[in-house]
Structure 1
């Protein structure tokens, strides 16, 4: 039976959608960060190595970079990565960007991993990948972190499946927070903060019902 809470697209269709989307939304101006990024920034203690997955237009990667963090953004859209790299250069930010899918076998080797004070960050990424890619994401997050490092995620939940969507009919799932948290625990993370609701990620008429959570690596 088809799951009504999941949009079904091939990998090629997803890639084509996001390449066209980011190619059409290029800007030379500094973007505003998400609400989630400003929340997470307040939880950080000093300069942090931040690995953002699903960096998109770079709004949060560039925000973290502007506050002195060492940032690498990863996205499956080459158009997005090219645009972010150009914008970072224009703004004089040191953030770097990598074009890769989350299940790419050599992705871990492409990322500069340093011991201590690392944050894996993913906003509106978990619901834009498949169940199998979610497992790959958590596998990779565990490989890239050491005890005491953090994972921060925000995503659309199953309670958001019927709401208005401004960004169009691209691939998305609607995630059960209890299931995601349990899966993260099995990958070596401990939940330190978790909340759900409206008002955390409002954009025009799209007031997404989201979950946001912070984890620490055990």
Structure 2
């Protein structure tokens, strides 16, 4: 799924500073969602800090990462609200199976789906992003929202605490155009520094809230 898989396994094995929930998960981008109505699919869960934050608020969470090390550590702490899976999201079949599973679970629970990602979209190639987008469209059976925080082009030359692994700096104009063309509605968007400082790093990030238009999907069938 990720470039530099070995890097990420080593990163999650040795890094002890990733246990605090992000500022993004506590922001107003998530505040309108509640556990009674929404099932959460978190992509790129890493050490699981945001996953457990959501689970502690009684959300049902399916958390995915490409690092076996991260998922093994997280699974040791699983509870009734969160389950962790190691998935290769560059595998089109695996992604479609995942989205099928999530939609069926949401249907059984009579819930909508919220796909949540933080610092994930810039860790994958655009081709993997396209696989994910296609799987969302093909498998959506309930209203589906997409909330994400990620690095953008303006961040490329800025200082990084961790600067020895793959990143894709997203062109937000192209990103929004693509998602809109594929049937998503932009509910909220911003791009700035000061959103998620970490130590001496203040990255340039985008935050976006999107909603997939099921009515548009039905009209195309």
**Residues 123-170 of structure 1 deviation map (CA, whole Å, 9 limit, x = unaligned):** 111111111111112223334544632100110000001111112311
TM-score by length of 1: 0.85
Say yes or no: does 1:98 pair with 2:80: no
Partner of 1:173: 168
Tell me the distance in 1 between the aligned counterparts of 2:2 and 2:176. Answer: 29
Residue pair 1:49, 1:119 contacting (<8 A) in 2 also: yes
Partner of 1:24: 14
Q: Describe how 1:155-166 pairs up with structure 2 within 5 A.
A: 155-166=150-161
Partner of 2:186: 191
Tell me the distance in 1 between the aligned counterparts of 2:2 and 2:43. Answer: 19
**Residues 2-40 of structure 1 deviation map (CA, whole Å, 9 limit, x = unaligned):** xxxxxxxxx78611110111111369xx93211111123
Give the SS at the match of 2:26.
helix
Tell me the distance in 1 between the aligned counterparts of 2:2 and 2:184. Answer: 32
Tell me the distance in 2 between the aligned counterparts of 1:146 and 1:163. Answer: 41
Tell me the distance in 2 between the aligned counterparts of 1:173 and 1:12. Answer: 11
Tell me the distance in 2 between the aligned counterparts of 1:144 and 1:188. Answer: 14
Partner of 1:77: 67
TM-score by length of 2: 0.84
Give the SS at the match of 1:49.
strand
Partner of 1:43: 32
Partner of 2:205: 210
Change (3 A) 1:128 1:148: same
Aligned residues between the structures: 203
Shift of residue 100 of structure 1?
Answer: 0.9
Q: Which runs of 5+ in 2 are unaligned?
A: 214-221
Partner of 2:119: 124
Change (3 A) 1:137 1:12: closer
Give the SS at the match of 1:38.
coil
Q: Which runs of 5+ in 1 are unaligned?
A: 1-10
Residue pair 2:190, 2:206 contacting (<8 A) in 1 also: yes
Tell me the distance in 2 between the aligned counterparts of 1:36 and 1:172. Answer: 19
